[in-house]
Amino acid sequence: MVHKEECDDLFVKSGKEKPETFERKQAEYRDLSKKFINTKSDYSKQFSHIYSARLTELREALIPRVKAKWENILIVKLADLEKLENQQCIIIGTLYKHQQWKPSILRELSEEHQLSASCSKPNYCSEKDQPFLEDEMLRIKLVGEQVDIKQIITGVVCAVLGNENSDGTFLVKDWCFPGCAPKESLKEYTSQKRLVLVSGLNLSNNCESLGISLFVEWLCGMAGNITMQKDNTFIVRLIIAGNTVKNNDTSQTSTSKELGEVIKFVDMFLSNLATCCSVTLMPGEHDPSNAMLPQRPFHPCLLPKSSRLESFKSTTNPWVGKIEGRVIIGSSGQSIQDIVKVTGETDISPIEWLEKSLLWRHICPTAPDTLLVCPYYEKDLFIMETCPDIYFVGNTDKFETKLWKGDENQIVRLISVPRFDTTQTAVIVNLDNLDTQYISFSNI
């Protein structure tokens, strides 16, 4: 009998032994995102401090690269451009794309008072967008064939080679970005341990889907046979990248009471998972956390059952952590979504922007321009100080992954983690060789 054979491994061989249970492997875990919680945010400060801090820090990183790339060409400040009389030179500054349709409080206000027609656009782009480069004092318009307005992202620090035109614009000949941050240390990884990444569980209207319950059964070692359960003990941690509670703002209609019910369910769900697997929970755009980046961890009182478990870690968004020596940086998706809105380009997948942001050395360059962020004034927290091993973004439309290799032997696993509620997909990453595969739980 075919079935019989297939199911044989379920059977306890002697019939007298106790059924086997396996112990989940443990992994060294460090949360490095303390800086997102501990840094004081003074809301009376201006946002310009972020830009100047960002420029100061990334200029340091740019100068050696610029010198290596273009050798002996002079680096000048924008204020000194006049003196050069259209000579070729290098300017370092922050890109700024003037966009008519980017979020503006004044426009919101005038729409509210019906002074202007409201229009909802999928992105901030228009025909009139203009690229600028600005340093601490001045800005200059960028022109030339090398300038692709779609590729200009506000907030990115870069060096530009070219010369000033007589009309006061800057003719761009070449670009240079800070590049990926150097790797802390190169070492051998031998652990067979794995991570599971998931995002957009959207439990508010997804709590009874079969996908969710299959996912839990799979992760907790209920489903499958003994071999599979044994294999799953190597999954050391589950990272939930945002939008666990809900996935959109349409639930504005739902009352806070309903939200409370949902959070109770989320607590149950997470405590269930956490009894069987270590869990790291990041808040997302639509979760009950602060709207400004960095989003703070869910308060322990919000999830009383889960918080009791030591295996459950509530953390920030974006998040930086270290598991078994692997540096992991991830966000719940806002950073990349906003970049996509700024460019208006739909053909470029999130994974490419993820790669670019690695080269920009910045997790979310569009903050504070179009992305809400706390007005830090001493330091820009979102600059990547070290090169991650795994760099992921949550709440994307589909699963994608790429193994990125840098000039300085950096190897980074880029992952776009799809929304679970639409794709029923989770991602498994092997911490040993950074192999990544998806696992879907649908039966469609």
Which parts of this chain interact with another protein (CB under 8 A)? 1, 3-4, 6-7, 10-12, 15-24, 26, 208-218, 220-230, 232-233, 272, 274-278, 299-301, 307-311, 428, 437-443
Q: How far apart are CA 313 and CA 291, in angstroms?
A: 20
Cβ-based nearer residue to another protein, 80 or 397: 397
**240 and 201 Cβ atoms separated by less than 8 Å:** yes
Cβ-based nearer residue to another protein, 73 or 276: 276
Count Cα atoms within 13 angstroms, Cβ side, for 305.
Answer: 13
Cβ-based nearer residue to another protein, 127 or 310: 310
Give the C-alpha distances (Å, rounded to integers) separating 24 from 222, 325, 373, 382. Answer: 13, 19, 38, 34
**393 and 417 Cβ atoms separated by less than 8 Å:** yes
Q: What angle do CA 85, 88, 91 make, to 5 degrees?
A: 95
User: Closest distance between another protein and the C-beta of residue 198, in Å?
Assistant: 13
- Helix H, strand E, coil C: the string for 92-132 is EEEEEEECCCCCCHHHHHHHHCCCCCCCCCCCCCCCCCEEE
User: Closest distance between another protein and the C-beta of residue 351, in Å?
Assistant: 16
Cβ-based nearer residue to another protein, 51 or 298: 298
- What is the phi/psi pair of residue 394, to 5°? -95, 175
Q: How far apart are CA 423 and CA 209, in angstroms?
A: 12
- What is the phi/psi pair of residue 408, to 5°? -100, 40
User: Closest distance between another protein and the C-beta of residue 196, in Å?
Assistant: 11
Residue 425 β-bridge partners: 440
Cβ-based nearer residue to another protein, 234 or 353: 234
Cβ-based nearer residue to another protein, 311 or 366: 311
Give the C-alpha distances (Å, rounded to integers) separating 64 from 105, 125, 347, 362. Answer: 40, 34, 33, 18
Cβ-based nearer residue to another protein, 169 or 233: 233
User: Closest distance between another protein and the C-beta of residue 413, in Å?
Assistant: 15
User: Closest distance between another protein and the C-beta of residue 337, in Å?
Assistant: 24
Sign of the CA dihedral with 53 first, then 54, 57, and 62 last: negative
User: Nearest-CA neighbor of 245 among 271, 275, 265?
Assistant: 265
8-state DSSP, 78 = G
User: Closest distance between another protein and the C-beta of residue 229, in Å?
Assistant: 3
Cβ-based nearer residue to another protein, 133 or 235: 235
User: Closest distance between another protein and the C-beta of residue 355, in Å?
Assistant: 21
User: Closest distance between another protein and the C-beta of residue 3, in Å?
Assistant: 8
Strand-pair category, 75-76 with 88-98: parallel
Count Cα atoms within 13 angstroms, Cβ side, for 179.
Answer: 19
Cβ-based nearer residue to another protein, 12 or 291: 12
DSSP reduced 3-state for 81:
helix
User: Closest distance between another protein and the C-beta of residue 425, in Å?
Assistant: 8
**273 and 279 Cβ atoms separated by less than 8 Å:** yes
